[in-house]
Structure 1
Amino acid sequence: MRLVRHPVLCNYYVTYRCNARCSFCDIWEKPSPYIQLADVEQNLRDLRELGVQVIDFTGGEPLLHQQIDTFLALAHQMGFITTLTTNGLLYPKWAERLRGKVDMLHFSLDAADKNLHDQGRGVACFDFVQESIRIAKSLGERPDILFTVFSGNIDQVERVYHEIALPNNLMLLLNPAFSYNTVETGTPLTPTDLDYLSAFGKRRNVYLNEAFMQLRRDGGNHISDPVCKAASTTLVISPENELILPCYHLGEQKFKITRNLKQLYRSEEIRQLVALEGRLPACEGCTINCYMQPSFAVELNSYFWKALPSTIKYNWQKGTWKRLLKQVV
């Protein structure tokens, strides 16, 4: 049973450029412009009318955009929940200007071992994450540690939790790695790995969406009975001011936004593409977390109930439920 029939999330790519070279990502390889303020202002108004609640300003590295603080402030003032994930290299420079504008601030950190983390990210950013944590806390911010879990670093989860997350009273977000297109993430997580993460997710200050684990045990999305609702729950906007469908990672079709995102999204052509969500050949077996997260939240099924405890846990500890409540009332 569908509970919510409007999009709830916008993945807004401010640029594809990045100052890291992560081995598990190909975004940084793309040439890219930067989004324009006039487009952001118009698109945010349309996103509000479409029912979107959360704006994720993403990339690439979003802090490479010289107006990122302006975008965040505008979205925050309009009542959106704002999220931003950074590798930490530029956060010390931006910290003061971002203060109070990011509801969910994530610092990417994949190991407690400096060399292992920096090797995976392709640049020396471990020390910058540590410094970013210190600065953010001094400003009264409540960042999270976003840990992308592979078979090669799963043994680091315990150390990151005890050496970094708990001492700083930060939430540790466990993000199981996924493969897409030609991007490989190494040996897949085993059933034993999934069981380990499921148990770890029950600890204090740890977020793990258990529906992610169940989806993997079930073999991912199945086009015969899709759980993915990417196109109807998530709007993806490119740095070229295009609407990408059905999702960024497939990027089957792109539509130029000409000052009216709301009208474009409600057009018959888009509606026909939305109807194919989760049903395209490339959707078989998909486990891309950033699209499954909202998918689990809009339809009453077993994944909804699996996802609910961790969703409540995170929003309660972060206090973001207060801003979500304001959107409802």
Structure 2
Amino acid sequence: MRLTSKPVLCNYYVTYRCNAKCSFCDIWEKPSPYITLEDVKQNLTDLRRLGVQVIDFTGGEPLLHRQIDEMLGMAHDMGFVTTLTTNGLLYPKMAERLKGKVDMLHFSLDSSDKTEHDTGRGVACFDFVMESIKVAKQLGEHPDILFTVFKKNLHQLEEVYEDIVLPNKLLLIINPAFDYNDIDAGEQLTEEELKYLSDFGRRKRVYLNDGFVQLRRDGGNHVDDPVCKAASTTLVISPENELVLPCYHLGAKSFPVNGNLYDLYKSQEVEELKGQEGRLPECEGCTINCYMQPSFAVEMNKYFWKALPSTLKYNYLKGTWKRLMPF
């Protein structure tokens, strides 16, 4: 049963440029412009009309955009829940400008070992994450640690949790890695390892959407009965100010927004592409978290019930439920 027909999330790519070269990402390889403040203002107005609740300003590295603080502030003031993930390289010098504008601030950290983390990210950023934690806490912010899990770093979860998360009173977000395009996340986690993740997610100050675990047990999205509702739950806006459908990772078609996102999203051509969400050949076996999470939230099925406890836990601990209430 579908709970809402409205989109709930916007993945707003401020640029594809990045100051890191993560081995599990190809975004940084793309040439890219930067979004403009004028376009953001108009698009946020249309996103509000469409019913979107959460704006994820993403990239690339979103802090490369010199006006990212203004965009976050604009979205926050309009009542959106704002989220941003950064590798930490630029956060310490931008922290004052970002204060109070990011509801869900995530610092990417995949190991408690500096060399291991920096190697995976392709740049020396471990020390910057540590500094970012310190600076954010001094400013009264409440950042999360976003840990992208592979088979090769699963053993690091315990140390990151014990040595970094708990002492700093942070939240640990467990983000299972996923394949897409030519990106290979490596060997799949075994049933025993998935159970370990699921059990770990029940610890205090830890968030793991258990729907992600169930989806991997089920072999991902299946085109004959798709769980993915990417195009109808999530708007993807590119740095070129285009609406990308059915999702960023497939990017089957892009439409110039031209200051009219609301009507574009409701157009016949876009509606037809929404109807293909989760049903394209490339969608078979997909486990991309950033589209599955909103998909789980709008369809009352087994993934909805798997995801619900962790979602309630996270929003309670972060207090973001208070900002969702006006919608």
Q: Same fold (TM over 0.5)?
A: yes
Give, in whole Å, the separation in 2 of the partners of 1:4 and 1:140: 35
Give, in whole Å, the separation in 1 of the partners of 2:41 and 2:230: 24
1:184, CA displacement in angstroms? 1.1
Aligned residue in 1 for 2:90: 90
Q: Secondary structure at the match of 1:152?
A: helix
Would you say how many aligned residue pairs link Structure 1 and Structure 2?
A: 327
Give, in whole Å, the separation in 2 of the partners of 1:211 and 1:34: 34
> CA offsets, 1:105-161, max 9 Å, x none?
000000000000000000000000000000000000000000000011000000000
Aligned residue in 2 for 1:7: 7
1:296 to 2:296 alignment: yes
Unaligned residue ranges in structure 2 (runs of 5+) = none
Aligned residue in 2 for 1:142: 142
Aligned residue in 2 for 1:36: 36
Aligned residue in 2 for 1:106: 106
Give, in whole Å, the separation in 2 of the partners of 1:175 and 1:4: 26
> CA offsets, 1:184-223, max 9 Å, x none?
1221212111111000000000000000000000010000
1:60, CA displacement in angstroms? 0.1
1:58 to 2:58 alignment: yes
Give, in whole Å, the separation in 2 of the partners of 1:183 and 1:2: 32
1:309, CA displacement in angstroms? 0.2
Aligned residue in 2 for 1:250: 250
Taking only aligned residues, the RMSD between alpha carbons, in angstroms, comes to: 0.5
Give, in whole Å, the separation in 2 of the partners of 1:129 and 1:29: 23
Identity of aligned residues (%): 73
Give, in whole Å, the separation in 1 of the partners of 2:176 and 2:40: 31
Give, in whole Å, the separation in 1 of the partners of 2:294 and 2:31: 29
**Deviant stretches of 4+, over 2 Å:** none
Give, in whole Å, the separation in 2 of the partners of 1:184 and 1:285: 13
The residue identity in structure 2 corresponding to 1:211 is G
The residue identity in structure 2 corresponding to 1:122 is G
Unaligned residue ranges in structure 1 (runs of 5+) = none
Give, in whole Å, the separation in 1 of the partners of 2:176 and 2:170: 19
Structure 1 residues 165-180: aligned runs within 5 Å:
165-180=165-180
The residue identity in structure 2 corresponding to 1:320 is T
1:326, CA displacement in angstroms? 2.4
Structure 1 residues 121-270: aligned runs within 5 Å:
121-270=121-270
Give, in whole Å, the separation in 1 of the partners of 2:41 and 2:285: 37
1:326 to 2:326 alignment: yes
Give, in whole Å, the separation in 1 of the partners of 2:106 and 2:36: 24
TM-score for both structures, normalised by structure 2? 1.00
The residue identity in structure 2 corresponding to 1:71 is M
Give, in whole Å, the separation in 1 of the partners of 2:313 and 2:122: 33
The residue identity in structure 2 corresponding to 1:182 is D
TM-score for both structures, normalised by structure 1? 0.99
> CA offsets, 1:257-295, max 9 Å, x none?
111000000000000000000000000000000000000
Aligned residue in 2 for 1:117: 117
Aligned residue in 1 for 2:74: 74
Q: Secondary structure at the match of 1:272?
A: helix
Give, in whole Å, the separation in 1 of the partners of 2:91 and 2:5: 36
Give, in whole Å, the separation in 1 of the partners of 2:189 and 2:150: 7
Give, in whole Å, the separation in 1 of the partners of 2:167 and 2:325: 30
The residue identity in structure 2 corresponding to 1:168 is N
Give, in whole Å, the separation in 1 of the partners of 2:17 and 2:237: 15
